Amino acid sequence: MTPANTISPKVTTAHQAKLAYVYIRQSSLSQVTRHGESTELQYRLAERAGALGWPLERIKVIDDDLGKSAASSEQRWGFQQLLAEIGLAQVGLVLSWDASRLARNNSDWHHLIELCSMFGVLIADGEQLYDPLQYHDRLLLGLSGMMSEAELHQLKLRLQAGERQKAERGELRLPLPAGLERQRDGRVILNPDEEIQARIRLVFAKFDELGSARAVMRYLVQHDLRLPTRPLQGAAPHPIVWQIASDGQVLEVLHNPAYAGAYTYGRSTRDPSRRRAGHPASGIHQRPLDHWPVCLQDHYPAYISWAQYLRNQQRLRDNQNRYQDTHRGVPRQGQALLQGIVLCGRCGARMRLRYSGPHGQYPAYTCRDAHHRHHLPACQQTRAIALDEAVQEQLLAALAPDKVALAMAALKELDQETETLKRHWQLRLERGRYDAERAERQFHNVEPENRLVARQLESQWEQKLRAVEELEHAYQRWLDQQSFALSDDDRQTILAVGSDLPTVWYASTTTAADRKHLVRLVIDSVIIDAKRERGYLWYQINWQTGATSEHRLRRQVMRLAEHPYREALQHRLQELSDEQKMDAEIAAMLNAEGFLTARAQPFTGQNVWRLCQLWQLASSKEAGKYPNPPRWRDGTYSISGAADRIGVTHGTVYKWVRQGRIQGQQPTKGAPWKIPLTDSEVLSLRDYAKRVRRVKRSIEEAS
């Protein structure tokens, strides 16, 4: 094709038939405002496009990405528009001051070059004109992109190294949470606002008492106590905003090491593998505490000690319901009392919960750690109800000597709780009245003739007054619901209820989570082993004081082989059977002597008969309820056994017994018969039965 001009042989009429796009970008808004010459220089690239043969009306300027980094094409709508126009074959020339303006990473840069080569688009910078279809130009463009990315890398290294060095001295100014304030001379102090200080301290105190961030959030919402936050939006200084408490805000206070007086740097980092498309802020994860690059303790004034901060972090990790390592999980409303604190006595793993039955009313502690990790059989499983009741009795017995002290502590805590809430209400009222007085002063300071401003200030004053009035009414309603001055009768009632721990424990107002929380205050863990002793559950209580106590619990078993007193039961049943006792009588005697079935239930006559059948013992059954065996253990026959041996009916045997032809014994009336038969007697009775049948047959034939 013949060149359209003598400026550059690379520019053809095909290129000039399309549009020329000038791409303009600055990395930050501060560069846009402070380095206007650089921006103006990029706008003048339109003149270079005109010098290359493009008329003014066919030159388009893309400046949508001013103030955006070229490290990625995400959120750079101008660059994405340029790529789209190239793909639509609408572009003949792309101009940018240099490669770094278009892209700072090889992925975006080579994508642009590939599109330009496919659709025949020229690329120009402040000095040269390149044709991506030509090998040498493409090589130069690739080198330019590599240098642009390397330049960004070096800039980041220098900036981050300087920032890191300054942070190691504690001189890098990092954003402060709402509870801290930086003065003009750079010193950091506790926020001088008393309400902010009181609210932050309340969060830590309540977490220490309630044990979970969600419980603290519910407490704050219940009492309409908002949390102070400092949103890092816009230019500094960032004002304090009071917001309704949420889980995230409470966790932000608990996780922030600045409240423990620590200056930290690099607590979080970006992981490219975790980034999600369209979410530029994704991919951020928190580093473990021992991997923080900078952690200077006692650098700020503190609300809590560093040791308390570490305990809080450990407690937050324990509250995660993962049942791994030391994660016990937060107490929940489930039925199982020992949820999260039961350890397997065989492998040491934390046991999980499994619910069965209708509506999950039968919880069980199960250890499947070996199965999950190594595909081995599960260690053990035990029902939770019996174990919970046993540990509950141990707990109440352990707390019984201190019941009066516990009641006094509860009474004192009630007084402190009321005083704390009263103090927070007073601070809220003080803030509201100050805001109203400030609005009043602003209104009085304006010139009366300036009604444009006076009307607005008067409206704001009225709003503040109404807010104070509503706050005073809410405070009065709260006062009416409280009893700050407890009478002597009230205190005696509280002491009486607090002294009776079982009444408080079983009260309908005491939730399952409350009981679990109390258990964890006294008991650290419970180790169980259901296979150590046959028919028993062995368990060890590890108390918070460091003491341990071992116990065993009779458990329900599904097989007679696991019965704890199997040998003693068999021996006793043999003795009673030899005494020719009735089954029901034997069952009553076993129950009176403390024997139980395998499932820990009282014996019945049917249980006794089944055991006699299993162990081949003579059974004096209740008439008509159970079939007798053909032959008793002593060698004698029952009625049915004798009938089968001789070959006659049961009625014939009964008749021969009454006639005295067969000698049978019956220990008591209603007891089964025992008939001794020898082989000769059996043969004789068979012959007699045959003769009787022949006589009957002859009579029938004769008639």
DSSP state letter for 288? P
Give the residue carrying structure tokens 């009957």: 696
Give the residue carrying structure tokens 């006595």: 345
Token pair of 164 as six digits: 């890191």
Residues 6+ apart with CB under 8 A from 563: 534, 535, 557, 569, 598
622-628: Cβ within 8 A, 24+ apart: 622/582, 622/583, 622/584, 622/670, 623/670, 626/583, 628/672
Nearest in space to 43 (alpha carbons), one of 105, 78, 6, 95: 95
Residue 546 CA neighbour count, 13 Å, CB half: 0
Report in angstroms the alpha-carbon separations of 51 from 23, 48, 160, 405, 504. 17, 5, 42, 94, 91
Active-site pick, 8, 27, 96, 577: 27
> How, if at all, do strands 536-543 and 548-554 pair?
antiparallel
For residue 276, the cross-strand partners are 279
Token pair of 486 as six digits: 């407890």
Q: Is 498:411 a contact under the CB 8 Å cutoff?
A: yes
Q: Helix %, strand %, coil % for the chain, to 5?
A: 50, 15, 35
SS3 365: strand
How does DSSP assign 607-631, residue by residue? HHHHHHHHHT---BPPTTTSPPPSB
Task: Give the DSSP H/E element, type plus range, for residue 516.
Answer: helix 512-522
Backbone angles phi, psi at 245, to 5 degrees: -65, 140
Region of residue 304 (left: phi > 0; alpha: psi -120 to 50; beta: else): beta
Q: Three-state secondary structure along 161-188?
A: HHHHHHHHCCCCCCCCCCCEEECCCCCE
Distance, in Å, from the CA atom of 1 to the CA atom of 382, rounded to the nearest integer, reads: 88
Catalytic annotation present for 27:
yes
Nearest in space to 101 (alpha carbons), one of 116, 117, 122, 123: 123
Torsion of CA 54, 56, 60, 65, to 10 degrees: 110
Query: How crowded is residue 274: how many other Cβ atoms within 10 Å of its Cβ?
Result: 10
Q: Is the peptide bond before 401 cis (omega within 30 degrees of 0)?
A: no
Residue 58 CA neighbour count, 13 Å, CB half: 18
SS3 393: helix
First vs last Cα of the chain: how many Å apart? 138
**b/e map of 435-457 (b: 16 or more CB within 10 Å)?**
bbeebbebbeebeeeeeeebeeb
Q: Is 239:259 a contact under the CB 8 Å cutoff?
A: no
- The catalytic site residues sit at 27
